[in-house]
Structure 1
Amino acid sequence: MEAPLTVTLPDLAATGALAARVAPLLRPGDALLLEGPLGAGKSAFARALLRALAGDPALEVPSPSFTLVQSYDLPGGLEAHHFDLYRLDGPADLEELGWEEARRGLVLVEWPERLGSRRPADALMLRMAYGAGEEERVATLSGWPDRLKDLDA
């Protein structure tokens, strides 16, 4: 098992830069699971990632906190689905959100612990944590050693 890749992100711009570096690694059928406490930057990372994938820095990317899922048709025929499962009771509620259909595209999942047994084993994990400064965050990526090997270069 590969060691996780840890990146210190001094500010929001650095979070966006990391998202832009991760974006080209993603393919249909992939799952990116975003973990971390409230306010740690999961949504900011997801927003920057979706904008990078769309090639549109002004793309409107609303938080799926209340809708639970937001879907995007991206260039190259890629469908992306951004899930926020914070308010979900558990994996039984995933069916009505279109989880199985969404898995054909890219899924970004905040609060993946709510997936239970439906948590994809082959997912990329991104754990966001508070850093030393007010804006600083620490991102730890694990999984996909074959695809992540060039990120720390």
Structure 2
Amino acid sequence: MDQSSETRSPQQTVETARAFAASIRPGDVIALSGPLGAGKTLFARGVIAALQGGLDTFQGSPTFALVQEYLTAAFPVYHFDFYRIRNARELFDIGWDEYCSGRAVCIVEWAERFPEVLPGHTRWVTFEITGDELRVIRFSQPGQRGL
């Protein structure tokens, strides 16, 4: 079953992300999908801060670095950005399959670019811009891609 949330400000997007973070378990892969400026990076920042117990060590979107690593008390978190990746082989060249194995949590912006590399248990979070500040955020169960 899909669920959705409507946010009316960047702060509400962060609050939604923090609430979502409570459901994350070791080994989860979180796919963030939506247009430029929809709130994917802001959402990732909120999730990462919540997983770090409220500590905001966010290093920015990994658009150029491709991946940023964050440590939590329970597991590492890897934040990926697929925007600049040209093909799936590049992901495996940087060790995609090794990053997202075991207890690590992977958060992936622009995940819709290479859905074929994502495991079946991936949880999709899809963003839609419906107004200047208004966003609809849809959460899909593992294995179901939100449209």
Q: AA paired with 1:61?
A: Q
Distance 1:144 1:117 in 2: 14
CA positional deviation for 1:128: 0.7
Higher helix share: 1
Which among 72, 80, 92 is matched to residue 77 of structure 2? Answer: 80
Q: 1:52 aligns to what?
A: 50
Match of 2:15 among 17, 20, 25: 17
Aligned amino acid, residue 17 of structure 1:
E
How many Å separate the matches in 2 of 1:125 and 1:90?
20
Task: Name the aligned partner's letter for residue 62 of structure 1.
Answer: G
Is residue 99 of structure 1 aligned with residue 96 of structure 2?
yes
AA aligned to 1:34 is: L
**Deviation of 1:122 (Å):** 1.4
How far residue 90 of structure 1 moved from its aligned partner, in angstroms, is 1.5
Name structure 1 gaps, 5 residues minimum. 146-153
* Counterpart for residue 71 of structure 1: 69
- Correspondence 1:111 to 2:110: yes
Identity of aligned residues (%): 33
Contact 1:8 1:131 in 2 (8 A): no
* Counterpart residue identity of residue 140, structure 1: R
The 2-side partners of 1:55 and 1:61 are apart by 16
Q: Which amino acid aligns with 1:126?
A: V
SS in 2 for 1:55: coil
Q: 1-side partners of 2:112 and 2:129: how far apart?
A: 19
Q: Is the 8 A contact 2:79 2:106 kept in 1?
A: yes
Deviation at 1:57, TM superposition (A): 4.2
Give the TM-score of the pair, scaled to structure 1: 0.85
Give the root-mean-square deviation of aligned CA atoms. Answer: 1.6
- In the superposition, the TM-score normalised over structure 2's length comes to 0.89
- Quote how far apart the aligned CAs of 1:39 are: 0.5
Q: Which residue does the alignment assign to 1:135?
A: 133
Q: Please tell me whether the aligned partners of residues 120 and 142 of structure 2 are also in contact (alpha carbons under 8 angstroms).
A: no
Secondary structure of residue in 2 paired with 1:25:
coil
Measured in 2, the distance between the counterparts of 1:51 and 1:33 equals 17
Structure 2 residues not aligned, in runs of 5+: none
**Residues 89, 114 of structure 1: 8 Å contact kept:** no
Q: Report the Cα distance in structure 2 between the residues aligned to 1:112 and 1:144, rounded to whole angstroms.
A: 14
